[in-house]
Chain A
Amino acid sequence: MQVEKKLQEKAKELRREIIRMIGANHVGHFGGSLSVVEIMTVLYFHQMKYDPLNPNQKGRDRLVLSKGHSAPAQYAAMALAGYFPREELLSLKQLGSRLQGHPNLACLPGIEANTGSLGQGLSMVIGMALAERLQKERGRFYVILGDGELQEGQVWEAAMAAANFGLHTITAIVDHNKLQATGPICQRMNVGELRPKWEAFGWQVIEVNGHSIPELIQAFQAAERNVKGPTVIIAHTVKGKGVSFMEGVAKYHNGLVNENEFQQALAELE
């Protein structure tokens, strides 16, 4: 209970930082950042083994944010975890900033892969896991995908390969918020039933409420117990979660808030 409460507080803090970091009168990826907050929180503050002071440590657990546009959520978690000072969050997307619009490992230690062009994160995680198998390291690999991102064919090439190679150290998390940039996924390009798709590709599938910290914790533990092949956690989420006027509204995928809305969002997250 204590752990859960602490993580819930962290999640709230992450949401505030996401809003502050994007700020008023700036376009930013609010929706998909807010929907992955609990996933980020559980990964960074409960599940993953890493050392922010030694970000290249061998055998560490790794997270690749395949839906790179949710970078504000990852940056917030990394700042709170101690990778860099919290004030630096306000440099998001500024010229010369280490916090690029989409993650760039060349400038920010702790970022494991360059993402932004959708559909590519899982492939990279497969390469990392294959390398660790040769090197006899024991890290685990986490990759967060968007549900709209599943429209990219490369995701399914990679899904096939991860199962083919029996990479049980990989856990994929689908942020299933049901909205893509231009509207509901079921209307824009229906990705259909996710469970049978992933199962058919040879994955263990676990479905959770992606905003429930205990459900996420349990799912990650179940993934770790599976030594046969990869696991995907389909996390049912709400895009824009935590800010009333953003919840379930597609335009905040990459949207703008005015000063009043900015203050309202922060007030709701107090």
Chain B
Amino acid sequence: MESCRVWYGRELLALAKEDPTIVALDADLSRSTMSTFIEQELPQQFFEIGIAEQNMVGIAAGLALNGMKPFVHSFAVFLTGRAYDQIRQVIAYPALNVKLVGSSAGLSDFGDGATHQSLEDISLMRTLPNMIVISPADHVQTKAITNYLTGYRGPAYLRLSRAETEQIFPEDYRFALGKVDLLLQGDDLAIISTGTLTGTALRAARRMEAQGIKATVINVSTIKPLDRKDLLKAIGGIRRVLTIEEHSIYGGLGSTVAEILIQEKCGYHLKSMGVRDLFGQSGENHQELLKHYQLTEDDLIAAAAALTSD
């Protein structure tokens, strides 16, 4: 198991060593977001803004306006929620080259409860024109995406979990914006997942195979702009589609997929799994919360069985 946030922090540091225009900003959470690597090794390229997310986003806009490549860090919930208007007005609207890195996304900050958990961030960021939204599934993809983002010119939201994930992608994986990752092919249904739950989807699919249900597993790391044709190609002739994400069922991956599939003439049978219009809460560990909100392998297998039986 590897930590995406640690791999992110290390990769950003490596890239910042090569490119002095890369700067990191944080709001007193650098040891959680892992911008601490830059802070320690390249203090000139790090700005502690204090506990002031709105000001931090504005400062990042100013840095970008003067040719720097700012990476802005906080917990996903504070960055996208507390500073939403700032992100909208001074990052997305003028399409500035600012990377927003929302850490501890989903339920991964299990102990701190609803105030620190982020189940609405994809929805908030996805609706903003000019903003791209990316949610990696493992540390290999995280590293590749971090690398990609330093070369991408424009506003971007990177969603990172605090949870550790198993390796899904090979070491030589290359990220392509908008493209989906077809991880497993089966004829009975397509499971479309993002972030931490892609590992869950793969494990569930392997167990289902033993029960005679063959699932396609598609990872979507680019929630926006999602390449419609690439998604349809990966789904192929399958008509039963199940989405799963550590996010509200409103406005996230499930909504994105539904918006695409509803435009197609053939009828799809869709089910979206996510947190159903609820806030999070404290738990002993991440797994306990995923179980409570019905986002485990077992829940996925049950949903797949229900979807394929009718």
Give B53-93 as 1s and 0s: 1 = Cβ < 8 Å from A's Cβ atoms. 01111111111111110100000000000000110111001
Point out the residues of chain B lying under 8 angstroms from A119, CB to CB: 54
Instruction: Name A154's closest neighbour in chain B (CB-CB).
Output: B54
B167 at the interface (CB under 8 A from A): no
Contact between chains at B89 and A123 (CB < 8 Å): no
A117 at the interface (CB under 8 A from B): yes
Q: Main SS of the interface on chain B?
A: helix
Give A23-44 as 1s and 0s: 1 = Cβ < 8 Å from B's Cβ atoms. 0000000000000000000000
Point out the residues of chain B lying under 8 angstroms from A161, CB to CB: 49-50, 52, 55, 59
Say whether, besides A113-B62, A124-B61, A126-B62, A157 and B55 are in contact (CB < 8 Å): yes
Q: Main SS of the interface on chain A?
A: helix
Point out the residues of chain B lying under 8 angstroms from A132, CB to CB: 66
Instruction: Name A64's closest neighbour in chain B (CB-CB).
Output: B62
Point out the residues of chain B lying under 8 angstroms from A113, CB to CB: 61-62, 65, 90, 94
Contact between chains at A123 and B55 (CB < 8 Å): yes
Contact between chains at B59 and A127 (CB < 8 Å): yes
Point out the residues of chain B lying under 8 angstroms from A124, CB to CB: 58-59, 61-62, 65, 90
Interface of chain B residues 233 through 251 with chain A (CB within 8 A): none
Instruction: Tell me, in angstroms, the Cα distance from A124 to B66 when the chains sit together.
Output: 10
Instruction: Tell me, in angstroms, the Cα distance from A130 to B93 when the chains sit together.
Output: 22
Say whether, besides A127-B61, A130-B47, A158-B58, A135 and B66 are in contact (CB < 8 Å): yes
Instruction: Name A159's closest neighbour in chain B (CB-CB).
Output: B55
B20, B63, B93, B95: which contacts A127 (Cβ < 8 A)? Answer: B63
Point out the residues of chain B lying under 8 angstroms from A104, CB to CB: 93-94
Contact between chains at B52 and A131 (CB < 8 Å): no
Contact between chains at A130 and B59 (CB < 8 Å): yes
Instruction: Name A111's closest neighbour in chain B (CB-CB).
Output: B94
Say whether, besides A154-B55, A160-B50, A114 and B62 are in contact (CB < 8 Å): no
Q: Chain A nearest CB: distance from B186 CB in Å? A: 46
Q: Chain B nearest CB: distance from A175 CB in Å? A: 19
Point out the residues of chain A lying under 8 angstroms from B62, CB to CB: 113, 123-131
B127 at the interface (CB under 8 A from A): no
Instruction: Name A129's closest neighbour in chain B (CB-CB).
Output: B62
Instruction: Tell me, in angstroms, the Cα distance from A126 to B95 when the chains sit together.
Output: 19
Q: Chain B nearest CB: distance from A54 CB in Å? A: 16
Size class of the A contact interface (CB-based, 8 Å): 20 to 34
A189 at the interface (CB under 8 A from B): no
Point out the residues of chain B lying under 8 angstroms from A114, CB to CB: 89-90, 93-94
Instruction: Tell me, in angstroms, the Cα distance from A244 to B273 when the chains sit together.
Output: 64
Contact between chains at B90 and A120 (CB < 8 Å): yes
Contact between chains at A130 and B63 (CB < 8 Å): yes
Instruction: Tell me, in angstroms, the Cα distance from A183 to B52 when the chains sit together.
Output: 30
Instruction: Name B56's closest neighbour in chain A (CB-CB).
Output: A123
A186 at the interface (CB under 8 A from B): no
Instruction: Tell me, in angstroms, the Cα distance from A164 to B49 when the chains sit together.
Output: 9
A112 at the interface (CB under 8 A from B): yes
Instruction: Name B53's closest neighbour in chain A (CB-CB).
Output: A157
Give A150-165 as 1s and 0s: 1 = Cβ < 8 Å from B's Cβ atoms. 0001100110110010
Instruction: Name A66's closest neighbour in chain B (CB-CB).
Output: B58
Instruction: Name B55's closest neighbour in chain A (CB-CB).
Output: A157
Point out the residues of chain A lying under 8 angstroms from B52, CB to CB: 154, 157, 160-161
Instruction: Tell me, in angstroms, the Cα distance from A106 to B52 when the chains sit together.
Output: 27
Point out the residues of chain B lying under 8 angstroms from A130, CB to CB: 47, 59, 62-63
Give B18-29 as 1s and 0s: 1 = Cβ < 8 Å from A's Cβ atoms. 001001000000
A116 at the interface (CB under 8 A from B): yes
A105 at the interface (CB under 8 A from B): yes
Instruction: Tell me, in angstroms, the Cα distance from A126 to B55 when the chains sit together.
Output: 9
Q: Chain A nearest CB: distance from B124 CB in Å? A: 16
Point out the residues of chain A lying under 8 angstroms from B308, CB to CB: none
Instruction: Name B65's closest neighbour in chain A (CB-CB).
Output: A128
B44 at the interface (CB under 8 A from A): yes
List 22 contacting pairs A-B, 8 Å CB cutoff, sorted by A.
A104-B93, A105-B94, A106-B95, A113-B61, A113-B90, A114-B93, A117-B88, A117-B89, A120-B86, A120-B89, A123-B54, A123-B58, A126-B58, A127-B61, A127-B70, A128-B63, A128-B66, A134-B20, A134-B23, A158-B58, A161-B50, A161-B55
Having A114-B93, A124-B62, A131-B66, one finds 11 other A-B pairs with CB under 8 Å, namely: A113-B94, A117-B90, A120-B86, A123-B57, A123-B59, A124-B90, A126-B58, A126-B59, A129-B62, A134-B20, A161-B55
The list of the 10 closest CB pairs from A to B, nearest first, reads A127-B62, A123-B58, A131-B66, A157-B55, A157-B52, A124-B62, A127-B59, A127-B63, A128-B62, A117-B89
